[in-house]
Amino acid sequence: LVDLGQLEMASQCAREHQIPLYLGSGVTKEQIQQLKSKVDGIIVGSALRKRGKAGEALDLKRVKDFVAEFKKKPPRGNKKSRK
């Protein structure tokens, strides 16, 4: 679970110091639109694996769905990407 308040503070700090900010594992497809404007990248692990479990084989459908969601434009009113 991502604390949005802490993520916003980290995002502001990273922008002020011109350093990249990556969000670690734990991100799901459902959270991408809410989080991607605050970070430069997302590290993904088990969300792309069969049954969403670490150590399982990659699930091509999960990978495609995750990438498609990431590529979507954010809903109106969201901040633009950090890049």
Binned average pLDDT, 10 residues per bin, the chain of 83 residues: 87 96 85 88 89 92 92 63 51
* Report field, pTM of the whole predicted structure over 0.75: no
d(CA 78, CA 58): 31
First to last CA, the chain: 24
CA distances to 15, 19, 48, 56, 68 from 29, rounded to whole Å, are 25, 25, 9, 18, 9
